[in-house]
Amino acid sequence: MKIYTKTGDAGETGLWGATRVSKADARIECLGSVDELNASLGYLRTQTTSLDAEQLAAELGLLLPIQKRLFELGAAVADVRRQVAPLDLAAATEALEKSIDRQTDWLPPLTSFILPAGTSQSTLAHLSRAVCRRAERVLVKLLEEQASDADPHAIKNLKNAQIYLNRLSDWLFVLARALNNAQHWPDEPWPG
């Protein structure tokens, strides 16, 4: 089977159950950002496997389930046929919140803004956080565009995805701090 189809050579692609759309379509932009986030998390996973950070084992263990969840999220964004099951991310969002709380309990309190810096793993978590925030912004724009003409099922899926991405970006921020802390690298305060 060939990987290239040449069907996208004219700047269009297909959505699940739809006619072809421009590659500049808001859904495609959202899917691209979620895909980029997923790839950055995959890279983060490869960079944290050899860390001797027992305290972070449970948190780092969330990376693979998060990647799987992002595929489900992408399917909900791509589904214009409205055939994707309801996107229930409540438990996944709660898992992120519990992880944030666990990490925050043993991290030094924040007293200022910090720079996205430190160890290579931490800076990769910060980069993933920035990509996650972009994915959320693009999803919010898609929600605003769809609000008047999409069915309630699709809107609910997109809103659940937006909440999950918001919490995921918070989790990545705390994880970046925890990765620095586990490697005895202090946060770099913003000098402003």
Torsions phi, psi of 118, nearest 5?
Answer: 130, -135
Q: Are 84 and 157 in contact (CB under 8 A)?
A: yes
Torsions phi, psi of 114, nearest 5?
Answer: -120, 155
| pLDDT tens-digit profile, the chain (192 residues) | 777 777 667 677 776 666 777 777 888 999 999 999 999 999 999 999 888 778 899 999 999 999 999 999 998 888 776 666 778 899 999 999 999 999 999 999 999 999 999 999 999 999 999 999 999 999 999 999 877 766 777 788 889 999 999 999 999 999 999 999 999 999 999 987
Distance between CA atoms of residues 134 and 153, nearest Å:
24
Of 33, 38, 43, 35, the closest CA to residue 134 belongs to 33
Query: What predicted TM-score, i.e. pTM, was given to this entire model?
Result: 0.91
Which CATH code is given to the segment(s) 23-182? 1.20.1200.10
Q: Name residues whose C-beta falls within 8 Å of residue 55's C-beta, 6 or more positions apart in sequence.
A: 106, 178, 182
